[in-house]
């Protein structure tokens, strides 16, 4: 009886080993692709190793940009270009131009339906209106440094500098209102 148990156990073990070996041989497509990706990545890293980066120049540029954007009285010079690319004048702005679609509140509102999932809807802006998107965000606004007039740029070729440039153009100014 003991011999029979040993033989049955041996046959069962052999069957399990063959079944498991068969599972390994049948790799899924995603497993094959992952294995190939890992092999190619290994070859790429061997052929062209990741360099040892020490200076982080791009990070320094982003940090400098953020420092400049954080200066409350910083002036910006907005140079307006003609269709031929020549500068025709410039505005002096308190702060950089801001895209009309930048908001102080999230653009989405989550309605908690409680049934199966939450529903994400477009939320109204602070002005109480909904942003339609699809090309609505092609306008920037800024405040004139001298008059505090609200000005808007739409479909206008322009570039911005935080320092006045040596170009032969006159400033574009806001007309004084008669008092």
Is residue 89 one of the residues assigned to a domain? yes
142 with 154, same domain: the answer is yes
Do 152 and 173 lie in a common domain? yes
Residues 118 and 132 both lie in one domain: yes
Residue 146 and residue 121 share a domain: no
Residue 4 lies in a domain: no
The rounded mean pLDDT for the chain is 83
The residue range of the domain holding 169 is 73-100+138-179
Is residue 146 located within the same domain as residue 179? Answer: yes
Q: What is the pLDDT of residue 6?
A: 44
The pair phi, psi for residue 140, each rounded to 5°, is: -120, 155
pLDDT of 126: 73
What is the mean predicted confidence (pLDDT) over 116-125? 76
Q: Check whether residue 178 and residue 146 sit in a common domain.
A: yes
Higher pLDDT, 27 or 44: 44
**Mean pLDDT (whole number) for 29-43:** 92
Please report the pLDDT score of residue 12 as a whole number: 53
Question: Is residue 34 situated within a structural domain?
Answer: no
- Tell whether 146 is covered by a domain: yes
- Which tens digit of pLDDT belongs to each residue from 144-165? 999 999 999 888 899 999 999 9
Same structural domain, 105 and 170: no
Same domain, 147 and 93: yes
Looking at the structure, do residues 111 and 169 belong to the same domain, yes or no?
Answer: no
Q: How many domains does the chain have?
A: 2
Same domain, 95 and 143: yes
Mean pLDDT of the region 117-132? 74
* Domain-located, residue 52: no
Q: 84 and 157: one domain?
A: yes
User: What does the pLDDT look like over 63-116, one tens digit per residue?
Assistant: 999 999 999 999 999 999 999 999 999 999 999 999 888 877 777 778 777 676
Please report which confidence band the pLDDT of residue 7 belongs to, taking 50, 70 and 90 as the band edges.
very low
Q: According to the model, what pLDDT value does residue 169 have? A: 95
Confidence of residue 5 (pLDDT cuts 50, 70, 90): low
């Amino acid at each position: 009886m003991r011999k029979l148990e040993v033989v049955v156990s041996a046959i069962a073990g052999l069957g399990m080993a063959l079944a498991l070996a068969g599972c390994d041989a049948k790799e899924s497509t995603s497993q094959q692709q992952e294995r190939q990706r890992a092999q190619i990545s290994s070859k790429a890293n061997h052929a062209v190793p990741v360099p040892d980066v020490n200076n982080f120049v791009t990070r320094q540029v982003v940090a400098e940009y953020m420092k400049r954007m954080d200066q409350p009285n910083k002036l910006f010079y907005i140079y307006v270009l003609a269709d031929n690319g020549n500068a025709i004048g410039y505005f002096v702005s308190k702060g950089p131009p801001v895209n009309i679609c930048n908001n102080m509140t999230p653009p989405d509102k989550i309605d908690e339906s409680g049934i199966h999932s939450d529903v994400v809807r477009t939320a109204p802006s602070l002005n109480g209106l909904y942003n339609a998107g699809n090309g609505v965000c092609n306008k920037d606004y800024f405040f004139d440094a001298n008059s505090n007039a609200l000005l808007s740029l739409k479909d206008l070729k322009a570039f911005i500098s935080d320092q006045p440039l040596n170009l032969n153009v006159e400033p574009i100014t806001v007309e004084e209102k008669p008092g």
